[in-house]
């Protein structure tokens, strides 16, 4: 029996586990290794897709299925298979057509079959030039007939702040959540990081009081509510800090190492 046997640590990736340069610090990497060596489960909960998380697995170890696409998929990298996935309801795709027709200032991305389809480019599209996975700069007709795991509406912070409540009221009453200043994520209603964490904990036989979770943004809120030990990084949104039980250092100050140390006290 190790110090962390029966415990699960789940971390958001961007601006939480990853620092402001998108890197994993050596202190965080060593803390994860120590947590696992002492019997704990470590994994990530992210809006990212499978290839985007896989690109970091040479720099970190996870030993439990990852919560991806904001909870719409649980993916076991050891077995290279989805444990669970839930797709956007087909009638909701029409809302994205309306956004395309009525809001040319907003970018739109569709995630299908673990590929990114850029329905409309915007100022954020250039970020894909630094990514190690394939991106398709169109949305072919046949993709409308395929199941979508996630879609993104992308815009400037002020634009999205205005459009987010309008989208929920006039375009689509299904589940959507902000994952950052520039991103409004659309996933299946009933899918979320919190629901994904509940499903993962049941799969592993972990009790709520033995779950540690940490995040920074609005899509982390319900995940923090599931965990018995919830942390917001110092750079988190104010609402996330208010909801979390504890505050960890910023993403640039080895937040995961801090939490592992606290869990071991």
CATH number of domain containing 98: 3.30.1240.10
Q: Rounded to the nearest 5 degrees, what angle is found at the Cα of 48, between the Cα atoms of 141 and 17?
A: 170
Residues 102 and 167 in one domain: yes
pLDDT confidence band for 207 (50 / 70 / 90): very high
pLDDT for the residue numbered 264:
93
pLDDT for the residue numbered 255:
98
Residues 30 and 153 in one domain: no
* Domain at 17, CATH number: 3.40.50.1000
* 150 in a structural domain: yes
- Range of the structural domain that residue 162 is part of: 90-186
Residues 142 and 198 in one domain: no
Domain boundary among 151, 186, 221: 186
Residues 162 and 100 in one domain: yes
Distance CA 211, CA 53 (A): 21
Residues 98 and 172 in one domain: yes
Q: What percent of the chain is predicted at pLDDT more than 70?
A: 100
Domain boundary among 163, 186, 209: 186
Residues 248 and 163 in one domain: no
Whether residue 41 has pLDDT greater than 90: yes
Residue 147, CA distances (Å) to 142, 153, 168 in order: 11, 18, 21
* 123 in a structural domain: yes
At 147-183, the pLDDT tens digits run 999 999 999 999 999 999 999 999 999 999 999 999 9
Residues 199 and 181 in one domain: no
Average pLDDT over every residue of 11-33? 98
* 1 in a structural domain: no
Q: Rounded to the nearest 5 degrees, what angle is found at the Cα of 144, between the Cα atoms of 140 and 150?
A: 105
- Domains in the chain, number: 2
Average pLDDT over every residue of 120-137? 93
pTM, two decimals, is: 0.97
Q: Among 9, 7, 8, 3, which Cα is nearest to 256's? A: 9
pLDDT for the residue numbered 97:
98
């Amino acid at each position: 029996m190790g110090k962390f046997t029966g415990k699960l640590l789940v971390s958001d990736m961007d601006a939480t586990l990853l620092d402001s340069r998108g890197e994993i610090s050596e202190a965080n990497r060593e803390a994860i290794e120590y947590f696992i060596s002492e019997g704990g489960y470590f994994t990530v909960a992210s809006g990212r897709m499978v290839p985007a998380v896989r690109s970091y697995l040479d720099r970190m170890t996870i030993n439990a299925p990852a919560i991806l696409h904001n909870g719409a998929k649980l993916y076991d990298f050891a077995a290279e298979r989805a444990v669970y996935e839930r797709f956007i309801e087909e009638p909701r795709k029409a809302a994205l057509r309306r956004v395309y027709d009525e809001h040319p200032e907003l970018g739109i991305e569709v995630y299908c079959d673990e590929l990114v389809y850029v329905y409309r480019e915007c100022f954020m599209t250039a970020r894909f030039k630094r990514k190690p996975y394939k991106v398709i700069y169109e949305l072919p007709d046949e993709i409308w007939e395929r199941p979508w795991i996630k879609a993104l509406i992308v815009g400037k912070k002020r634009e999205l702040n205005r459009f987010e409540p309008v989208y929920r009221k006039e375009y689509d009453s299904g589940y959507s959540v902000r994952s950052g200043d520039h991103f409004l994520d659309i996933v299946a209603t009933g899918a979320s990081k919190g629901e994904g964490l509940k499903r993962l904990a049941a799969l592993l036989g972990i009790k709520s009081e033995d779950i540690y979770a940490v995040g920074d943004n609005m899509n982390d809120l319900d995940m923090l509510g599931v965990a018995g030990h919830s942390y917001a990084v110092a750079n988190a949104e104010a609402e996330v800090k208010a909801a979390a039980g504890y505050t960890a250092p910023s993403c640039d100050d080895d937040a995961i190492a801090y939490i592992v140390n606290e869990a071991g006290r």
